[in-house]
Amino acid sequence: MDKKVHLSSRFDYVISFLKWPAAWLAAILTPFLAWAFLNLVARVVTSPLAIVPFAGGTFFFIILWRKWLGASRYGRFLITLEHESTHALFALITWHRIVGFRASLGRGGEVRFTGKGNWLITAAPYFFPTAALLLFVIAYIMPFPGLPWQSFLLGVALGYHIISTYKETHRDQSDLKDLGSTFCWMFLPAANLAVVGLLMSFAHGASEGLGVWFADIGRPFEWIWPFADLGLDANGMGDNPVGSDE
């Protein structure tokens, strides 16, 4: 067996094993992510100037889509291209060799790779913003570096992610049928909240904004933990060591 095929089979086995643990973890984290997102929105409302270029990029793409791209074959091609590119990216990350790639104007797209594949490759286009990675790189090579290209293009990426995810997420989508509706409802809301939160918090406060975002996700745990300790104390299992005469 080819060494790369052997490695991809190992990746597939491990990732397949982690499918439902990942779904349960995502479902548990959903309220924490929602809490962090609400706090992020509150920070944006109280200090909106920092995110104006980002919001401008988001609205720019949405208006562009509604006025032109949405009714254009090229708009559908862009969504297909990004969709299949995301499948291909996660196939490569999990050590699969790409043997075929097609994205057409009117006949959909397809990615073929060696090995069986895994749920992460299937689910990736429905939460991972590949366009944001490309636009993030473009932002660094744009002229006039003092202008907020980075924030604006990340906003464009968010607009694209919202529209493409909406367009691709429907009951007849073969990828979602393969994943199963239960898994999709458990995993994808949390994954998309995380992606939108990361993009917005970075646009609003750069690396410091990301730090606050992650702190907000963990803050409810800080509230819960003291009550857990009090519960132990109430049952006589606090600070006394096992076997104590007290």
Lowest mean pLDDT among 89-103, 135-149, 181-195, 211-225: 135-149
DSSP string computed for 127-145: T--HHHHHHHHHHHHSSST
Q: Mind listing the pLDDT tens digit for each residue in 51-84?
A: 999 999 999 999 999 988 888 888 888 888 899 9
Mean pLDDT of 181-209: 93
pTM (two decimals): 0.82
Question: What confidence tier does 106 reach under pLDDT thresholds 50, 70, 90?
Answer: low
pLDDT tops 70 at residue 234: no
Q: What is the largest CA-CA distance in the chain?
A: 80
How far apart (Å, rounded) are the C-alpha atoms in residues 17 and 47?
43
Lowest mean pLDDT among 4-8, 40-44, 148-152, 214-218: 4-8
Could you count the other beta carbons within 10 Å of the beta carbon of residue 215? 12
How far apart (Å, rounded) are the C-alpha atoms in residues 35 and 78?
33
Report pLDDT for 239.
Answer: 44
Q: Where are the alpha helices (DSSP H) in the chain?
A: 3-17, 19-46, 52-67, 73-93, 119-123, 130-141, 149-168, 174-179, 181-234
Q: Supply φ then ψ for residue 113, to 5 degrees.
A: -145, 165
Tokens of 167: 């367009």
